[in-house]
Every structure is written in C-alpha cells, then in structure tokens.
Amino acid sequence: MNTESLIRNALAPFSSVMRSDVGFTVATQCLYPDGDAVAVTVVGDAGRYRITDHGAGYAALQAAGVDDPKTYSRRASRLAEERGLTFSVGQFQLDDIDASQLGAGILIVANASQVWVQDVLNDVTRRVERDLRERVFDYTKTIFSADRIARDMALSGESTKSYQVSQVVRLGSDRLLLIETLNNHQNAIAAQYLKFNDIGRAHSDWAREFVVERRNDWKAEDLNVLGEVSDGILDIETGLEPLRARYA
C-alpha cells in the first residue's frame, strides 16, 4: 500500500456522509472539546448549496453544561463575519455556493462551530476558576491571618521550573502550606499534578492541599492520582475546616 492510500485510510474514520431529512450530514475531522466530530449539513442541488452546522455547536455547549448559549451569540456573530458566514438562530451558515466550493465551505463552517464552542468553554472555565479561587481565599482568611497568606506566589520545583501557586500560607519560619484550586478537567488535573509533584520533590516538608468543587462528581482514579502529590483534597462545598485542625 502506497503512502497516499495509507493517508486516505487513516483519514477515513474521521469523515463520513449520511443522508438526512434535509440534505446530507457530513462528519468532519474538526472536533469539539469532548472529542465528538463537528457535523455540518449540506442542502441544495442544481449546483448551488447551503452549508450549516445545524445548531451542532449550540447543542455541544448545552451538553457541556452551558446553561444559555444564546448569551454568547454576539461572539458567534463576530466569528461568522470574520469567516464570511452568517450566524442566526443558533447556527453557522454559508449560503449559495457552487460545487467547486463544497470542500472548503464544509471545513470553514465546521471550523467556525468548533472555535466558537472552544472559546465559550474556555471563557466559562476561566470564570469558574476565578470564582473558586475567590471563595477559597475568603474562607482561608477565616482560618489564617491575612498577613500570612500570599496569592499567586511563584515557587520552584526540583526541576528548577517556576510554578504559580494560588495561595501560600506561612506556617513557620521555613514551612509553607500550598493551596491550589482545581477544576474537573483532564488538562487542569495533569498540570496541577506535575506542579505539586515537582515542588514536593524539592520541598518535602511543605504541605500541599487541593480544593475542588463537587468532589462527589470526580472520578475516583483522578482523586487517587491527586492524592499521591498532596496532603488532602477538600471540597469547598463542605468547607475548609480541616485546614484549621491540620495547620492552624
């Protein structure tokens, strides 16, 4: 089998065409953050076509837990305008194109839907992270005096790489308590694991605590992994009083 055939076979699972009630649905190689392929719909005949994501991006945001994707419609409209598309009634659309433009049009619509979903989820994640960090800081101040708490402190690990830690509490002349907030997604888990592992290798006497939301929703294996590099994993919903017993 030659190289071209190998490439075609490798790409085949990532693209498919199926007839639907309104036209043809194309599963593209663009992926939403959850790994699902971005699907677009092609409608038309006689050499003129309309391509739309048929609200797939909107549905992907709802499935990811975004309560009202409509609030991000202005961002979608700007994105569509930049790419020569329209955004209306929750869907990206490219109108009146000919057969020679089908391939490019499918990719443009799919990419716009993908980028919108990723941008919105990134924005939501940042806001959730900021909110959790503030809640943890407010609670920590009820346990330790504010002058003992530093925020966003840079600390080095065994590798000499510098890491930013959400909150650092001075427990004594040389001992520190590191408190890191953590959201339930794999990229964050991996990054925070590496951070605490590296710092812990350099400073085994420093205490390290994670704070999460809705701990019961987390996978047991993820909690086990985080437990390997920390002294505890607390749930903000049940409070941070264990910190008082352990350190204050």
The pLDDT tens digits of the residues spanning 68-109 come to 889 999 999 999 999 999 999 999 999 999 888 888 999 999
Q: pLDDT band at 186, cuts 50/70/90?
A: confident
Report which residue type is found at 108.
Answer: I
Q: Is 70 exceeded by the pLDDT of residue 1?
A: no
Q: Is 80 exceeded by the pLDDT of residue 47?
A: no
Q: pLDDT band at 15, cuts 50/70/90?
A: low
Which pLDDT score is estimated for 41?
Answer: 92
Q: pLDDT band at 198, cuts 50/70/90?
A: very high
Q: What pLDDT, in 10s, does the model give residues 231-245? A: 999 999 999 999 999
Which pLDDT score is estimated for 53?
Answer: 95
pTM score, whole prediction: 0.70
1 burial (CB, 10 Å; 0-12 / 13-18 / 19+) is exposed
In whole angstroms, give the CA distance from residue 197 to residue 194: 5
Q: What pLDDT, in 10s, does the model give residues 109-159? A: 999 999 999 999 999 888 888 999 999 999 999 999 989 999 999 999 999
Residues 6+ apart with CB under 8 A from 57: 32, 38, 69, 76, 90, 91, 92, 113, 114, 116, 117
DSSP string, 29-75: EEE-TTSPEEEEEEEEETTEEEEE-TTHHHHHHHHTT-S-GGGGHHH
Average pLDDT over residues 28-42: 90
Q: pLDDT band at 38, cuts 50/70/90?
A: very high
Mean confidence (pLDDT) of the chain: 90
In whole angstroms, give the CA distance from residue 87 to residue 70: 11
In whole angstroms, give the CA distance from residue 247 to residue 243: 6
Distances in Å between the Cα of 85 and the Cα atoms of 30, 96, 111, 117, 148 are: 17, 11, 11, 16, 54
Domain boundaries, the chain: 3-123, 141-246
Give me the CATH code for the 141-246 domain, please: 3.40.1350
Residues 6+ apart with CB under 8 A from 195: 157, 163, 165, 180
